[in-house]
Structure 1
Amino acid sequence: MISKTAMGIAVGIASAVVGYCIYFDKQRRNDPDFKKKLRERRKNKKQASKCGSEIPDLTDPELVQKFFLQEVQLGEELLAAGDLDGGIEHLANAVAVCGQPRELLSVLQKTLPPQVFHLLVQRLPSVGNVITNRISFKLTD
């Protein structure tokens, strides 16, 4: 069977884990900004899932190509479903990571309605800024 020392070690480890959980739960509950931080974290997570796009590592061509194709597909699906904002957001992400954005924009100009294309062109600078900020943030990490 199990020796007394092994049983004692197991009980000691279990009690240490439970004590650790109780201590940090108490610290969390006593933090005055906990609920505010939790709401902010949930809000950010909801916005990220709404956008549905996490910019990949731009140094990996395979990931960038996969991301590009995924964004074009999602953008087309959302536009077909009537979600202009979501579709434009995904298409703007695709244009931002595209190796030849001028060619892609000329194709999109021919295929999209003029007002949708105009909204896409208006969205491009903000998406470009987000991508450059993420790249600079990853470089400083």
Structure 2
Amino acid sequence: MAVWYRNALGVVCGVAGAIFVGYCLYFDHRRRSDPNFKKKLRERRRRAHRGRASGGAVTWPNLKDQEAVQKFFLSEVQAGEELLAQGEIEGGVDHLSRAVAVCGQPQQLLQVLQQTLPPQVFQLLLHKLPSVGESILQAAGGGKEGSKVMEEDVE
């Protein structure tokens, strides 16, 4: 009886495995034959590439053009919120730190962010601010002296 039970169990496992493989092949074929598959795949890759590329060089706005600064600020806050909502902490903090760097009243923005962000995310944001301040000063043509002022302003 034990031999019969083993054989039956082996056959059931084999059939279940074959059904699972068939199920996977069927839905893979169906997914690939979808007319929008390549379009969706390209868009997903483009978004992923854009997310990785955002950590690199930043196109800072002209700090004398208030409208450009405001547009940049709003887009960075929105991008930071979206990335944080998706669980991409590093990317979200990068965008939020850029928003703080161009903000006209960074102390008030930092107070709001401290109340809304989890403590570890807020600490990461605070650690990121000096390097972002240095980056914006370099883009604006400033030097190391200006970055000390920015660091003191943040603390």
Q: TM-score, normalised by structure 1?
A: 0.61
Report whether the alignment pairs 1:86 with 2:94: no
Cα separation, partners in 2 of 1:48 and 1:94, compared to 1, 3 Å: same
Aligned-partner Cα distance in 2 for 1:48–1:55: 18
Report whether the alignment pairs 1:100 with 2:95: no
Percent identity of paired positions between Structure 1 and Structure 2: 58
Q: Deviations over 1:32-83 (max 9, x none)?
A: xxxxxxxxxxxxxx89833374111111000000000000000000000011
Cα separation, partners in 2 of 1:90 and 1:63, compared to 1, 3 Å: same
Unaligned runs of 5+ in 2: 1-49, 143-155
SS in 1 for 2:75: helix
Kindly provide the amino acid, as one letter, of the partner of residue 124 in structure 1.
Answer: L
Report whether the alignment pairs 1:133 with 2:138: yes
Aligned-partner Cα distance in 1 for 2:136–2:86: 26
Unaligned runs of 5+ in 1: 1-45
SS in 2 for 1:54: coil
Aligned-partner Cα distance in 1 for 2:126–2:98: 12
Q: Partner of 2:119 in structure 1?
A: 114
From 41, 53, 56, the equivalent of 1:49 is 53
Report whether the alignment pairs 1:64 with 2:69: yes
Q: Deviations over 1:76-126 (max 9, x none)?
A: 000000111100000000000000000000000000000000000000000
- Given that residues 51 and 91 in structure 2 are in contact (C-alpha distance below 8 angstroms), is that contact kept between their aligned partners in structure 1? no
RMSD over aligned Cα, in angstroms? 2.0
Kindly provide the amino acid, as one letter, of the partner of residue 90 in structure 1.
Answer: H
Q: TM-score, normalised by structure 2?
A: 0.56
- Given that residues 93 and 125 in structure 2 are in contact (C-alpha distance below 8 angstroms), is that contact kept between their aligned partners in structure 1? yes
Q: Partner of 1:39 in structure 2?
A: none
Q: Partner of 1:31 in structure 2?
A: none
Q: Deviations over 1:14-35 (max 9, x none)?
A: xxxxxxxxxxxxxxxxxxxxxx
| Equivalences for residues 5-16 of structure 1 within 5 A | none
From 119, 125, 129, the equivalent of 1:124 is 129
